[in-house]
């Protein structure tokens, strides 16, 4: 006999998490049970437009048919080998991902933080083996208000006290300079510098878009200083800003690009360090690795993601829909919005603090069928799947307008 599973309400399911789940998140009170495209449905059958898209892990929407099919096909054949053996999917994934980014070699990993950690290790190794920095002296220059993940080394150079406090001692070897400030960067770089590590658009900080010329300036400065430019494109990359990589807005090719989130198609965690040959070839067997990195399921899904991006369709959609998003937000300035920044289909919106915190605004939007996430203070970010339609986007903007008007 099959047991009858009682249907549980959102409130019951949220309550059930309390005693057994670490409280490292404060989710909105919505319990998602299924999803398709830009829409999710909760356990009571209410539908919501997903305007967060898993922090850009769902750039192609929920359960994109081509990605689901690639995953199913691979599930039926081979899922894991470990890198102790070759598998028949990995080389194609690496070759096509390198070609997509204009770089030469790929180090496959799983999560974003792992890609960042790996990028840091590779940059340090390059500094010792190629640049000739004395052992143990390599430095990496990063930007204030960065977000690169949550490991102990990564929070060592975070400027967010909530992320750091209680987690020391920290990893040395990092210098923090203000973002979008080439003079400060220039002053921080010296003969010990292995790399400059920055986000081309700072996502968690509130979608901070640097001034025109900043990314090209970082490229020029790092080349002149003989250190690596490592671009963390984990959130900004893979179509989100209207280009494959956000650095392309300034026609820049970094030495190292870190990718994650959307690379896994919203199905499995897939990340990668993609770099020039001279950089990634500093790694030798045994020096770095991951049991799951480059597994055949990840490679199959990752290849299907690259295939979608090779068409250029999603980059085009992000650019076009980004125009609608920008126009819509411009019309809300003065009507509850005090300012915003956007690039492609990605915006950080500063709501008048008198109308509520970002969290409160997010809860009100949720009740109207729109899922967003706050960042700091009264800022919310909008990053729908790149598959969202113009009508859905416009309707979401109307809902934002309505909720802000009601909050006044």
Ligand X SMILES: Cc1ncc(COP(=O)(O)O)c(C=O)c1O
Q: Residue 154 Cβ, how far from ligand X at the closest point, in Å? A: 8
CA–CA distance, 12 with 222 (Å, rounded to integer): 54
Q: Which is nearer to ligand X, 199 or 350 (CB)?
A: 199
Q: Residue 199 Cβ, how far from ligand X at the closest point, in Å? A: 5
Q: Which is nearer to ligand X, 106 or 404 (CB)?
A: 106
Q: Residue 247 Cβ, how far from ligand X at the closest point, in Å? A: 13
Q: Which of 60, 261, 314, 374 is catalytic?
A: 261
Q: Residue 114 Cβ, how far from ligand X at the closest point, in Å? A: 7
Indicate if 261 belongs to the active site: yes
Indicate if 131 belongs to the active site: no
CA–CA distance, 67 with 168 (Å, rounded to integer): 40
CA–CA distance, 119 with 129 (Å, rounded to integer): 15
Q: Which of 232, 255, 350, 374 is catalytic?
A: 232
Pairing of strands 174-177, 193-198: unpaired
DSSP conformation letters of 8-19 = --HHHHHHHHTT
Cβ contact 292:80 at 8 Å: yes
Please name the residues in contact with 390: beta carbons below 8 A apart, sequence gap of 6 or more: 320, 321, 324
CB atoms < 10 A from the CB of 17, how many? 12
CB atoms < 10 A from the CB of 256, how many? 26
Applying CB under 6 A, the residues found at the interface with ligand X are: 55, 111-113, 116, 147-149, 199, 203-204, 232, 234-235, 260
Which residue's CB comes closest to ligand X?
112
Q: Which is nearer to ligand X, 46 or 373 (CB)?
A: 373
* Structure token digits, residue 291: 């049991």
Q: Which is nearer to ligand X, 260 or 384 (CB)?
A: 260
Cβ contact 225:189 at 8 Å: yes
Q: Which is nearer to ligand X, 293 or 328 (CB)?
A: 293
Q: Residue 132 Cβ, how far from ligand X at the closest point, in Å? A: 29
CB atoms < 10 A from the CB of 398, how many? 12
DSSP conformation letters of 30-47 = --EEEEEBTEEEETTS-E
Cβ contact 112:234 at 8 Å: yes
Closest listed residue to residue 37, CA positions, set 303, 386, 391: 386
Q: Which is nearer to ligand X, 112 or 265 (CB)?
A: 112
Q: Which of 50, 60, 93, 147 is catalytic?
A: 147
Indicate if 232 belongs to the active site: yes
Q: Residue 394 Cβ, how far from ligand X at the closest point, in Å? A: 27
* Structure token digits, residue 38: 């830009």
Q: Residue 336 Cβ, how far from ligand X at the closest point, in Å? A: 27
Q: Which is nearer to ligand X, 87 or 202 (CB)?
A: 202
CA–CA distance, 205 with 139 (Å, rounded to integer): 23
CA–CA distance, 269 with 400 (Å, rounded to integer): 31
CA–CA distance, 347 with 321 (Å, rounded to integer): 12
- Indicate which residues carry an active-site annotation: 147, 232, 261
């Amino acid at each position: 006999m099959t047991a009858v599973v009682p249907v549980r309400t959102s409130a019951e399911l949220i309550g059930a998490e309390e005693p057994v789940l670490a409280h490292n998140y404060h989710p909105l009170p919505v319990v998602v049970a299924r999803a398709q495209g830009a829409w999710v449905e909760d356990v009571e059958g209410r539908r919501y437009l997903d305007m967060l898209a898993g922090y850009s892990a769902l750039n192609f929407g929920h359960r994109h048919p081509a990605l689901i099919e690639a995953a199913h096909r691979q599930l039926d054949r081979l899922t894991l080998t470990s890198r102790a053996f070759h598998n028949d999917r990995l080389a194609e994934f690496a070759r096509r991902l390198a070609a997509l980014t204009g770089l030469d070699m790929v180090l496959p990993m799983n999560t974003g933080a792992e890609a960042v950690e790996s990028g840091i290790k590779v940059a340090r190794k390059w500094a010792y083996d190629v640049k000739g920095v004395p052992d143990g002296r390599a430095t990496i220059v990063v930007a204030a208000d960065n977000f690169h993940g949550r490991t102990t080394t990564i929070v060592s150079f975070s400027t967010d006290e909530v992320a750091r406090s209680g987690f020391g001692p920290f990893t040395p070897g990092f210098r923090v300079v203000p973002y979008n400030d080439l003079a400060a960067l220039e002053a921080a770089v010296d003969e010990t510098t292995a790399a400059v590590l920055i986000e081309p658009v700072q996502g968690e900080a509130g979608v901070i878009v640097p001034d025109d010329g900043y990314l090209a300036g970082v490229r020029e400065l790092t080349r002149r200083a003989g250190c690596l430019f490592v671009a963390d494109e984990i959130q900004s990359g893979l179509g989100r800003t209207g280009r494959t990589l956000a650095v392309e807005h300034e026609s820049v090719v970094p030495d190292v690009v870190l990718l994650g989130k959307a690379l896994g198609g919203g199905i499995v965690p897939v990340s990668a360090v993609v770099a020039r040959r001279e950089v990634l070839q500093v790694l030798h067997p045994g020096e770095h690795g991951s049991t799951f990195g480059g597994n055949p399921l990840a490679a199959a899904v990752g290849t299907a993601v690259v295939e979608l991006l090779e068409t250029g369709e999603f980059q085009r959609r992000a650019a076009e829909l980004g125009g609608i998003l920008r126009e819509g937000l411009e019309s809300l300035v003065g009507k509850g919005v005090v300012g915003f920044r956007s690039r492609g289909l990605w915006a950080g919106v500063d709501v008048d603090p008198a109308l509520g915190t970002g969290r409160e605004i997010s809860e009100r939007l949720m009740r109207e069928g729109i899922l967003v996430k706050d960042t700091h203070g009264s800022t919310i970010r909008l990053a729908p799947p790149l598959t969202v339609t113009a009508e859905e986007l416009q309707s979401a903007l109307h809902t934002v307008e309505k909720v802000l008007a009601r909050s006044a």
